Every structure is written in C-alpha cells, then in structure tokens.
Chains A and B, each alone.
Chain A
C-alpha cells in the first residue's frame, strides 16, 4: 500500500513531466475530450439557464389556473381543424360561473391591440385586455398606485383603465397618472390604477398592457371576438376534478352530443411545462450523444498518442524495467499519464464552458449558469476515457522486453 502511494505520487509527477515536454501534442490530443466535455457542460449550462428563465416566464400563468380557449396551446396536428370551432362566448363563461361548484373563481377576458395616447405621448400596438372582478384574484397581481375596478365599474362598462407599470413610465414620466385621461384607440379613458411590475409571460411583457372592464372592450371595440375563460382551482390536488367538471359543463353549454368531439380546449401551465421538458430532454439526449461520440473519438486519439508515446519511450521503459519496475508499475504509469492528459482536457473544457456561459449570459437574453453536476460529470467522464483508452497502450508498454527496449536508441 505504501509503495502504491509512492508510485502514485511518482507516476503523477512523471506524467506531468512528460506532458510538459510535449505540450502541443498533448493539447491537440485532448481536443476530442475538450469538445466532448464542452458540449455536455455547455448544453447543461444553457438548459440550466433556460430552466430558470422558463420557470419565471410561466410562473405568471399560475399552476392553479385553467384556461378555456378556442385553440389548444400546443397544436400537434392540423391547425385548420381548430379554426372551424365556434368562438368561446360570454354565454359559455356565464354558464360555467353559474354551474361550477368546484372552481374558486371564474372570469372571462378578451383582448385587442390599440394605440394609446396621453397628450403628446403615444404608444402603438398596446395590448388592451377586457377583465372582470375575478381577474385580479386569478392573475394574482397587485396595484401599486390607485385601485382596481369596482363591481359597479365592471357592470356598467365604465371607461376606466388600469395601466401597466411600463406604460406609466413611458406615457407619464414622473407625473402622477391617477385621474388623467388617456386615449385607447379613439376612446377616452380615466386612469384609476397602476399595476405593480409583473415581468413577462412567454415573451410578452405584462407591464406594457392596459386593463379595461370586459363590457367596455365589447362596447368600444366590437362584440364578435373570441374570449378566454380563466378558472382558478382551489388547490393543486383538485386540478383533475375541476378539469372534469369544466369539461362536462362546457359540453353541456355547447349542447354537444356524446359522439361529437370537443370544440374547445382546456389549457393549463402543466402542458407547457411538459412540452418544455420534452424539448430539453431532446437537447440533453443530443448533447450526450455528441459528447459521447467526441469522447470516444477523443479516447481513440488518446490511445493512439499513448501508443506513439510508448514506442518513442521504449528506452525509458527498458531502463525502468531493468531497474526493477514490475509490469503493474509500468501499466500504472502509462494509465495515470493517459488519465492526466484526459483530465487536463476535461479541465480546459470546463474552463471554456464557464467562459462561454459568461458570454451567453452577458450577450444573449438567455440566463446561463454552469451546474456543478455537469462539472463533476465532465471531469469524471474524461478521466474514465483516459482510464479506458489508456489500458491497452499501458499493457503494451508493460509487456515490452527490457533487452529489446535497452537496445533502442
């Protein structure tokens, strides 16, 4: 055991010395390893970054909210199949509100895009959402300044507006917007509240929207638009039950016969999460595939360079054997050398991926961080490659005839 530790230490020193003498060759040989580990670690860090981003992107959807839409969020088959569906109407929303026993809150919402204007400042193509009292509970935002709508404002289709945080900044600068009148399209509205900063949802900026009573949006911008129905589920365990109930009630509301297909979709956050997981799993699989392939190619490169090294260093091997190095010791020496070359490749790759992750984080809109497990895995796999592909050359070195080796010049 003592002699094992001594030879481990010795062998690491020998390997490092040999590496220092053939720097360029060693670096070239580790290229395969570097590419392999770099691929896996970078993809892992990109996905890890995306995970953080994605989680914050969809968190506003709320895991306890169901959305009744004309279209499903994820369309796997023919889009045109869904185009002939009837619009979701206020009648559907009222039917659900009246008959649902399980939902905590139900609201209808409808949206359009309009230019908005305050004195000389104007913003184009701003999302205008028609909302109800329940919207505040279901979406779970809070009001920074002023107040949300009252039931009376909703019921009487008042021309009141609650504006997003960014709208306030862009339209009013530092002026207090409460009580001011702004133009939404061609209509005049009174600002009654400003929402707190909410971030964005699936790439669209929730802070650059305005909310008006649902009835007002119909009155000003027309009735014939498909609405969406938002349903708040009391607790996560009840999601399935509530889906069943809503599904049943929607079919009744639409007077569908048992053999007829649904002509509406019930969407939920989980669908997006699942799709995202599928996507990232696909990415992982691809990265591991490329990584594994590069590692194998790199490993063969290492084996090749080790065989060259063994041939070139026959004299050294002969001397060592003559002085009493057993086969095991020579084998060990070359395997350690191979592992070190590969680990150096692994370390280079990890340093590069930290650098890359930093650049991605700074330059692209995606956050990126290198997860620690990918670092450990990168190092582990590169050493394993060194071990595996080092065995054959090392065994060859160990079995060389010392006399032949000593004769070699």
Chain B
C-alpha cells in the first residue's frame, strides 16, 4: 500500500487576543491510498481544524505534513492552492456551491483553475455529473436543486480533477436520513472505484461506512481502529 498522507506531531494553536486555543495538540496519522477513513469526535474536538490541514487550506503551527511525498507544512498560499486544485476534492456540510452558477459551471471550476480549455472542461465535467446521476439537472442553479442534488453536484466537483483524496466534512449534516443514505452510497461507490475518502462526522451511522475510524478528543487522537479489511 502506498502512503498518501503522513502527519507527524501536528499542533495547531489559535491566538484569540491574549488567549491561546490549542485546537490540535500533537496529531500523528498515516493514511494510505484507497483508504476509507472516518474522523469522529464531539463538537470542538478539532475535527474541522484537522480537515483544513489535511485539505491544505491551512498549515499547522508545528509538525510535519507530507502529502504524496510533498512537504505541505512549508508551502505558501499559492503553492497550497495548486496542491488543493490537483490533489484534494472537498465536500462540505453546507455544499458551498456558487449560487449564481449552474451545476455544470460549479463542477467546471476546479478545471478552470487548472487551466483546461473550455471544450475539454465541458466533457470532463459532464462526465463527473453523470457519475453522480445528475445529467438531467446540470443546467440548473443550486437554488433549483434539492439538498441531496446539491451535495451530488459538490461531489461531482470534488472528483472532477481526479484528486488523490476526497475530504468530506459532515457531508450528510444538512440532509434528511434517506438522502443522507443516498449520498453515503455514492461515497461507498467512489471508494470501490479506487478513491481515497476521508469523512468527518459525529454520527456513528455515517462513520460506519468507513473501513477505519479515528476518534479525536480535545485535539488528540484517542482511538484509531481498523474496523474492516478491504
């Protein structure tokens, strides 16, 4: 198995005025390609902070982060953007689609930022939309789509650039349980198709889709269990 992510002694400290908040207090994780991982923990435990660091949206206060052999913790803003564009697909709890753009345009965005021509982009994006079963809705705006459909658009957008990992922060948090199940089925399919998936959730039922569950508590890893073998 190939090492994808190597986090060593990751610390993240936030400074609020004179008060220091330690969101992560020394996290070590090793993640391989094609793993399906859930990160669980109560609110405020540091899940989102960890996701931001893994997703290259933020850099740790100290510690080492290696992503496919590249040292992320030393990168500047522009280099991080490039890594996010090539290697990370985000799925957020609140979807984070551009409200005024069509589903297709939303899915095209990562391709725009990697400089792919309009004609090629359209083909690739339409393909990704087909994978999440929304071909008939691709010219609709987010406001014309249901929550589940919006999250499908977000998933299509996350996988359109063929990323090394898909990072989902509470992807079912804003959905009813039936729709949530449908979305989780898509993640399962994506995993079976060879994608690496990191799910952040506080719901056991969601976490159970993964092969490995990491429990985080007060900025520490409390438990790291391989629940299934793939």
Residues of chain A whose beta carbon lies under 8 Å from any beta carbon of chain B: 2-3, 6-7, 9-10, 17, 21, 315-316, 318-329, 399, 402-403, 406, 409
Q: Are A6 and B117 also in contact (CB < 8 A) when A320-B109, A322-B84, A323-B157 are?
A: yes
At the interface, yes or no: B100 with Cβ under 8 Å from chain A? yes
* A324 touching B157, Cβ below 8 Å: no
Provide the bound-state CA to CA distance between A409 and B96, in Å. 10
Q: Which residues of B contact A (CB under 8 A)?
A: 52, 55, 57-58, 77-78, 81-82, 84-86, 90, 92, 94, 96-98, 100, 109-110, 112-118, 157, 161
- Partner of A323 from the list B85, B94, B116 (CB cut-off 8 Å) is B85
Q: List 5 A-B contacts (CB under 8 A).
A: A322-B84, A323-B90, A327-B81, A403-B57, A409-B94
Known: A324-B81, A324-B82. A2 touches B117 (CB 8 A): yes
| Bound CA span A399–B116, Å | 24
Given A2-B117, A3-B115, A319-B96; A325-B57 close (CB under 8 Å) = no
Minimal beta-carbon separation of B143 from chain A (angstroms) = 13
Is A326's CB under 8 angstroms from B96's CB?
A: no
Q: Report yes or no: A323 in contact with B115, Cβ–Cβ below 8 A.
A: no
Given contacts A323-B110, A324-B86, 17 further A-B contacts (CB under 8 A): A2-B115, A6-B115, A6-B118, A9-B118, A320-B109, A322-B55, A322-B57, A322-B90, A323-B90, A324-B113, A324-B114, A325-B113, A326-B81, A328-B78, A403-B58, A406-B57, A406-B92
The answer to whether A327 touches B78 (Cβ under 8 A) is yes
> A319 touching B98 by the CB < 8 A rule?
yes
Are B110 and A316 within 8 A (Cβ)? Answer: no
CB of B100, distance to nearest CB on chain A (Å):
6
Q: Is the CB of A323 within 8 A of B78?
A: no
Q: What's the nearest-Cβ distance from chain A to residue B54, in Å?
A: 13
B142 CB to closest chain A CB, in angstroms?
11
B100 touching A17, Cβ below 8 Å: yes
User: Which residue of B is nearest A320, CB measured?
Assistant: B109
Distance from B198 Cβ to chain A, minimum over Cβ atoms (Å): 15
Q: Which one of B82, B90, B98 has the greatest number of beta carbons of chain A within 10 Å? A: B98
Q: Please tell me if the beta carbons of B57 and A402 are within 8 angstroms of each other in the complex.
A: yes
Complex CA–CA separation, A323 to B57 (angstroms): 10
Is the beta-carbon distance between A406 and B96 smaller than 8 angstroms? yes
When C-beta atoms are compared, the residue in chain A nearest to B97 turns out to be A319
Find chain B residues with CB under 8 A from A326 CB.
77-78, 81-82, 113
Residues of chain B within 8 A (CB-CB) of A406 are 57, 92, 96
* B residues in contact with A17, CB < 8 Å: 100
Query: Once bound together, how far apart are the Cα atoms of A51 and B94, in whole Å?
Result: 65
Q: Is B82 touching A6 in the complex (CB atoms < 8 A)?
A: no
Residues on B with beta carbons closer than 8 Å to the beta carbon of A3: 114-115
- B114: chain A residues within 8 A (beta carbon): 3, 324
Chain B residues, Cβ within 8 Å of A10: 112
Contact A323 B117 (CB under 8 A): no
In the complex, chain A residues whose CB is within 8 Å of the CB of B94 = 409
Residues in A with CB closer than 8 Å to B96 are 315, 318-319, 322, 406
Taking the nearest CB of chain B, how far is it from the CB of A1, in angstroms? 9
On chain B, the residues within 8 Å of A409 by CB distance are 94
* Contact between A325 and B98, CB atoms less than 8 A apart: no
With both chains docked as a complex, state the minimum distance between the C-beta of B55 and any C-beta of chain A, in angstroms: 8
In the complex formed, the residue of B with least CB distance to A20 is: B100
Residues of A within 8 A of B84 (CB): 322-324
CA of A318 to CA of B58 in the docked complex: distance in angstroms?
12
| Alpha-carbon distance between A21 and B141 when the two chains are bound, in angstroms | 14
Q: Which residues of A contact B116 (CB under 8 A)?
A: 6
User: A327 CA to B78 CA in the complex, in Å?
Assistant: 6
Known contacts A315-B96, A324-B85; A329 and B118 CB within 8 A of each other: no
Chain A, residue nearest B49 (CB): A403
Chain A hits for B97, CB < 8 A: 319
Q: Knowing A321-B81, A322-B57, A403-B52 touch, does A7 contact B98 (C-beta < 8 A)?
A: no
Residue numbers in B under 8 Å from A328 (CB-CB): 78
Bound CA span A6–B98, Å? 19
* Chain A: CB-nearest residue to B76: A327
Task: Pick the residue among A9, A318, A323, A327 that contacts B109 (CB under 8 A).
Answer: A323
Instruction: Name the A residues within 8 Å of B82 (CB-CB).
Output: 324, 326
Q: In whole angstroms, how far apart are the Cα atoms of A315 and B116 in the complex?
A: 24
| Docked complex Cα distance between A104 and B59 (Å) | 92
Are A316 and B98 CB-contacts (below 8 A) given A323-B85, A327-B78? yes
**CB proximity of B146 to chain A, nearest CB, Å:** 20
Residue of A at shortest CB range from B90? A322
B46 to chain A, nearest CB (A): 14
Taking CB atoms, residues of chain A closer than 8 Å to B57 are 322, 402-403, 406
Residue of B nearest to A402 (CB): B57
Task: Please indicate the chain B residues that have their CB under 8 angstroms from the CB of A403 in the complex.
Answer: 52, 57-58
What's the nearest-Cβ distance from chain B to residue A383, in Å? 24
List the A side residues contacting B110 at CB < 8 Å.
323-324
Shortest Cβ distance from A324 into B: residue: B85
Chain A neighbourhood of B118, CB < 8 A: 6, 9
Give the distance to chain A from B45, nearest Cβ to Cβ, in Å: 17
Q: Is the CB of B113 within 8 A of A323?
A: yes
